[in-house]
Structure 1
């Protein structure tokens, strides 16, 4: 009865190794029994039974495959086909025999167990059917049949579609003895709302737990600290006294702790106390909605609470990062430490506080939070870079668990001094203020050094070539931070003007000074792409080609050299200067535009949809520059009324702001240039490893780290490792929520904070980023590659980096969940005079494409009509 072809197996014979035979729910129950937990006995009707009953009877294995008439197969047709299939005699006999062994007319629960169910990436909770208090063999067989059909309910098909799960699915069915429950319900071993681990959340009700799971009753709700047994919160469901005693709550928490340890992850558990107050475990599945706790490069005291800040999100990157991209940022982090005088022992290890969760990059911010100097500096930096994060850090400052450490002031001052000395910040800033032209020459010299940095000869070993790439990245790092003081000097002089004209100038007037800034590589890139679109518009055939052809097909023709000359040559010229850029460009694993220019062809097509009579982005940029120069003259005149010296200082400050602030984007551009060179070399290594049979595909190289690549010529099982990481990366691409800050106990501070201001319905509040008001149709875009933004639409995005900014030229306004007044999106929006609000929490969830929204970029408010 335990062969792989059996149609019925005892629950005690099951384990995770038999997932394909018994589905996720049954496999989990088998593992629970094997671990010694009290689980009602029963059996599993395996997927072999489902396959034998439905063989040759389904119109298609998946609705997308199409029916006999070529149209899509509806889930209802598939359900009907399963229900119409007769129960095979062998299956029916095996189920009757197994049910008889449970006893005579025993009430049982009949539960679906799909092969893609109760897995770490997708729980499928409630997607297939369950039948309770089923009595008699005939009724059990009928319930099994209906469970099979529930694989094709509309909700289950839709859930699988959103999870990207398709293919040859099958369903097993669990039949378990019913618990005569006095009270039952659900236990989460981590708080599903706040994310806090080791905090059990119990929902309970008298009788069967199904009422709690289905939401048909208002349950008692209890929150208990797992480690101490302390009950932190309790509320009654309104059906009389609590159905559980304090001791039973603690017993549940202890059970949950044991189950979590057995499975190695927080669990969503269904349980029941029978009338003798014996606790039974009826189901356990992973909690798939929790954001994982970041894992540091070097472990620290597990009992000390840590605060982790999402660096990749702050850089405008919402999507996951490839393993080689993460390894690259580790090397870059080591380079910054070396500049500051704190080099790590191994370059590829990265900073000690470097951490990873959900394929995103975090940094342990605890030292800054617990330092007087850190508390002084971090909020001010975040206020202009990522405003919402500054608010979250402010909440941590009020948490006694993050109290300032004694002596932290001296340590912080010493650290800042090291950084200033390593970057030569005071000297660089002073030189830039005295001679801005020298700062611009330094930028070009740094770029030339990165481009000239040698790599290993093609005849070198893979390990030697990988070492040369690491050296390229590490040597390039010092060049970037040493340019930051020049841009910072430009913004510092703007702050000086604000102080000198206190009471005589508004924030909006100073923002006008930043319009149309010269020396900004991102806006130069966007305007050069616009200029190419202008030239292409003059060629009717090419304009028609861009408007009608698929961007991916155009990219393939470009690589083959088969586009019309004006388009082929124009794109080649653009890519020679800007081909190292990309969407999500800090990830070395992402294709550069010179690798795949499909996104650019789509953007060009969008530019050509603009009304030729409307003001062009170039005209808006030029007009912005004129407005800025006019505002400079106005503010200087105001200052002169209070004295010639004050007027001279304001004039000097504003001129330096115009000459230097545009360099803000250059340090990152230098690093992206180095990353692009590194990617090209590693891509060549990938081709060679694939040709040698070490990798299945050249791009698999981006799913290894540098140490693994050094050993790639001899390391076993690389394809298996790559497959595992690709699968994890693909799952992470579907993640919608990424926290700005997460604590080491899993808590997301934003989730537990009480908003200081509750906006009215139909209103979201963020940070002002670019003045002006606009009303238009919203377009929610989470990935710009292939996205279509119509002229004048309001771009609503989770975050942006320079790879997004070509879309800004057609946008009527910008709403962004991340960012501050000096983030990439805000800077570019101001350049083009696009009203923008950033740091708008929940924007991509509450706003949907097609809504008409109003954006007030000066007030930081987004509104839409509500019914």
Structure 2
């Protein structure tokens, strides 16, 4: 196929019509616009289908004349670059980077025409995502031709940092030679982060000061180019550049940055699932959120106010607990689960001290009164739950009233449970999960069926997360446990936690019955479609006002994956908080010292497993017997599972940053339950001792 067969028209890059991206493609149009603005752009021309430019010179003679003007009179003095310039690439929506062919160092007429056919052929093989389904292959493609420049140093520059989402930074990657080495991935190069004034923030990998690819004189010129290019196009640009042998800087390409990371606004809250994930570990539907997250947030707000841990103005302004992507998360700074950003200023600020002093008398009296108040509350809850008739015998209004009562009493239970954890000694005694494991072992030994077990031993609900869907099955048979002691033997905080779970289960039963009576079916996995309503919508539906108009189109929330341990929101998207400092240890939660092999709880259990998990989900309780250690990314020493682990005298460390990534299954570990230190080590001889003997030795 010859150039004549392609029927191409020639448009010089400095012609006004070259700035039209619908004619010459975005890449060529951007360079034409940059050249007019005085940016350092190499000369060149664009080949477009002749029918799109009827007034431009066409045919082989016109193409050859344009080529010779770049390559020299005989066409051999200078090589050229033949590149794609599509309507669909280098746009604000999609870069299409690397999707089309480019031909470098084309010498002579034959190599040049072959390069043109190669570029056009690549357009016929690629259909852009945003292209109309009725478009013909190759529609919107032009061919950009420029002289081949041999760069001493070249690279890619972003007028903003797309990785960190920072518009106050400029990101540059540079190599010796042309930028094509970076673009095709064959060379890593040196990455520089610069301020808008050209100051070097960091370079990776580090370079000798006298052998930098981009010394100050070059970075200053690059920063000036980035800022002027941003002025021309109205936004930071993704650019390719090169310094020639005479130290002249050239712009090879400019396009919008299409993958700019979102950046949390200044003052965005630090959130995380750790403190609440143990209570609400799963993705919640809208009604579950209103029934369980809202009372938890209100209860914790009351507890923080009573303890003087935060100002009332701040507590009124933001919820302590909320949901992100359907998962419950907490404000980590409000709950004291993350250190202050300005600890020195906090010490100088008299307001927190005065607030706590004002609350001291309340706390002093409450410390003595709280156990009695909690006992009274638990007794009231037990009586109310016992007085409810079977759900099928209740009137519809009674069902709704019971669910509403549950929302109110959950708030009180969460408030007292939080205060009990802060003011009372919660590190000793039995746990609800431990009692449930003992009851489970005894009940199964007696041959009780699954339904009978929960009906006769409601403490078993401590092993199951709350849900409006069908209740999950109880855990598989477990190893050794203690003997059951009865719910009355539980300490105050554990008793309150258990009532929270009982009230949640009561609400779930009532909602399932309401769904049956309203004739609303189920989604998947036994989830009633009523779970897709908000609480106010359910109240209106139960009163006869009907379901929302869009109810039929609503779908259950799906699991979008686990959330970061610590994050801030940017336009509703979680952005992980960078880990600050070299901290690698967590908080010790007791249990002595132990060694073993990391295990994620899946697959075959090692001989001496150290369970490594993201958070302390009570559903993991059946895995605790005979563990050599327990390590969690997040969590508190006062959590359900941490307390239960102490009952089993398992060395436990919580809040260990990145534990699940740092310690994959099979890693030999040592866990210090006193200091929270977790280290990778060869298993010592002592690791062959029984768990109990080794722990007694450590104690």
TM-score of the two chains, using structure 1 as the length reference: 0.52
Which of the numbers 596, 610, 633 marks the counterpart of 2:471? 596
Q: Which residue of 2 aligns with 1:738?
A: 565
Q: Which residue of 2 aligns with 1:203?
A: 172
Which of the numbers 408, 413, 417 marks the counterpart of 1:474? 408
Aligned length: 567
Closer/same/farther in 2, CA of residues 582 and 752 from structure 1, 3 Å limit: closer
- 2:423 & 2:510 partners in 1: Cα distance? 36
Q: After superposition, where does 1:425-574 map in structure 2 within 5 Å?
A: 426-427=364-365, 429-431=367-369, 440=375, 443-449=378-384, 452=387, 458-460=395-397, 469-482=403-416, 490-491=424-425, 514=428, 517-518=429-430, 520-535=431-446, 566-568=448-450, 571-573=453-455
- 1:688 & 1:224 partners in 2: Cα distance? 64
Instruction: After superposition, give the CA deviation of every residue in 1:428-459 in whole Å (9 maximum; x if it has no partner).
Output: 532577x8xx9656534434335657999654
Q: Cα distance, 1:318 vs. partner?
A: 6.5
Instruction: After superposition, give the CA deviation of every residue in 1:782-824 in whole Å (9 maximum; x if it has no partner).
Output: xx8xx77567422110111322222213533211111233233
Which of the numbers 648, 659, 669 marks the counterpart of 1:832? 648
* 2:671–2:679 CA contact under 8 A, matched in 1: yes
Closer/same/farther in 2, CA of residues 736 and 773 from structure 1, 3 Å limit: same
* 1:354–1:362 CA contact under 8 A, matched in 2: yes
Q: Cα distance, 1:256 vs. partner?
A: 10
Q: Which residue of 1 aligns with 2:464?
A: 582
For the pair 1:717 / 2:694, whether they are aligned, the reply is no
Q: Which residue of 2 aligns with 1:662?
A: 491
Q: Cα distance, 1:851 vs. partner?
A: 3.1
- 2:457 & 2:502 partners in 1: Cα distance? 13
Instruction: After superposition, give the CA deviation of every residue in 1:586-641 in whole Å (9 maximum; x if it has no partner).
Output: xxxx357xx3333x2xx325x2xx5xxxxx2328x99xxxxxxxxxxxxxxxxxxx
Closer/same/farther in 2, CA of residues 467 and 850 from structure 1, 3 Å limit: same
Instruction: After superposition, give the CA deviation of every residue in 1:292-321 in whole Å (9 maximum; x if it has no partner).
Output: 84xxxxxxxx7x624424255554367654
- 2:233 & 2:630 partners in 1: Cα distance? 45
Q: Which residue of 1 aligns with 2:535?
A: 706
Q: Cα distance, 1:666 vs. partner?
A: 2.9
Closer/same/farther in 2, CA of residues 307 and 136 from structure 1, 3 Å limit: same
- 2:260 & 2:623 partners in 1: Cα distance? 37
For the pair 1:617 / 2:588, whether they are aligned, the reply is no
Instruction: After superposition, give the CA deviation of every residue in 1:217-263 in whole Å (9 maximum; x if it has no partner).
Output: 423412447xxx7857254973243355333344567799947xxxx
Q: Cα distance, 1:839 vs. partner?
A: 1.7
Q: Which residue of 1 aligns with 2:102?
A: 132
For the pair 1:107 / 2:82, whether they are aligned, the reply is yes
Instruction: After superposition, give the CA deviation of every residue in 1:476-528 in whole Å (9 maximum; x if it has no partner).
Output: 32244335555656429xxxxxxxxxxxxxxxxxx8xx3xx24x222111221
Closer/same/farther in 2, CA of residues 704 and 696 from structure 1, 3 Å limit: farther
* 1:854–1:864 CA contact under 8 A, matched in 2: yes
Unmatched 5+ stretches in structure 1:
1-31, 43-93, 152-170, 260-268, 294-301, 369-377, 383-388, 493-510, 537-565, 611-615, 623-658, 757-763
Which of the numbers 753, 757, 773 marks the counterpart of 2:580? 753
* 2:610–2:627 CA contact under 8 A, matched in 1: yes
Q: Which residue of 1 aligns with 2:267?
A: 305
- 2:200 & 2:285 partners in 1: Cα distance? 40
Which of the numbers 604, 607, 623 marks the counterpart of 1:807? 623
- 1:191 & 1:482 partners in 2: Cα distance? 46
Q: Which residue of 1 aligns with 2:213?
A: 239
Closer/same/farther in 2, CA of residues 695 and 176 from structure 1, 3 Å limit: farther
Q: After superposition, where does 1:359-438 map in structure 2 within 5 Å?
A: 359-363=326-330, 382=337, 389=338, 393-398=339-344, 407-411=351-355, 413-414=357-358, 416=359, 426-427=364-365, 429-431=367-369
- 1:475 & 1:145 partners in 2: Cα distance? 66
* 1:184–1:273 CA contact under 8 A, matched in 2: yes
SS of match in other structure, 1:818: coil
TM-score of the two chains, using structure 2 as the length reference: 0.63
SS of match in other structure, 2:678: strand
- 2:408 & 2:453 partners in 1: Cα distance? 31
- 1:287 & 1:102 partners in 2: Cα distance? 41
- 2:275 & 2:302 partners in 1: Cα distance? 24
For the pair 1:765 / 2:629, whether they are aligned, the reply is no
- 1:851 & 1:768 partners in 2: Cα distance? 20
Closer/same/farther in 2, CA of residues 700 and 138 from structure 1, 3 Å limit: farther
Q: Cα distance, 1:331 vs. partner?
A: 3.8
- 2:596 & 2:576 partners in 1: Cα distance? 33
* 2:286–2:532 CA contact under 8 A, matched in 1: yes
Q: Which residue of 2 aligns with 1:51?
A: none
- 1:570 & 1:694 partners in 2: Cα distance? 27
Closer/same/farther in 2, CA of residues 214 and 322 from structure 1, 3 Å limit: farther
Q: Which residue of 2 aligns with 1:47?
A: none
- 1:211 & 1:287 partners in 2: Cα distance? 19
Which of the numbers 191, 215, 219 marks the counterpart of 2:190? 219
Instruction: After superposition, give the CA deviation of every residue in 1:698-750 in whole Å (9 maximum; x if it has no partner).
Output: 54443443345456734333344x34x73xx43x22x4633167899999896
- 2:166 & 2:573 partners in 1: Cα distance? 5
- 2:160 & 2:455 partners in 1: Cα distance? 57
Closer/same/farther in 2, CA of residues 321 and 184 from structure 1, 3 Å limit: farther
SS of match in other structure, 1:107: strand
* 2:182–2:188 CA contact under 8 A, matched in 1: yes
SS of match in other structure, 1:804: helix
Tell me the C-alpha RMSD between the 2 structures: 5.6
* 1:775–1:852 CA contact under 8 A, matched in 2: yes
- 2:524 & 2:53 partners in 1: Cα distance? 50
Closer/same/farther in 2, CA of residues 352 and 807 from structure 1, 3 Å limit: closer
SS of match in other structure, 1:473: helix
- 1:232 & 1:189 partners in 2: Cα distance? 14
Unmatched 5+ stretches in structure 2:
1-19, 31-47, 68-80, 105-113, 130-136, 243-247, 684-699
Q: Cα distance, 1:830 vs. partner?
A: 0.7
Q: After superposition, where does 1:45-56 map in structure 2 within 5 Å?
A: none
Closer/same/farther in 2, CA of residues 765 and 604 from structure 1, 3 Å limit: same
Give the number of the structure whose residues are more often helix, by fraction.
1
- 1:283 & 1:779 partners in 2: Cα distance? 46
Closer/same/farther in 2, CA of residues 769 and 138 from structure 1, 3 Å limit: same
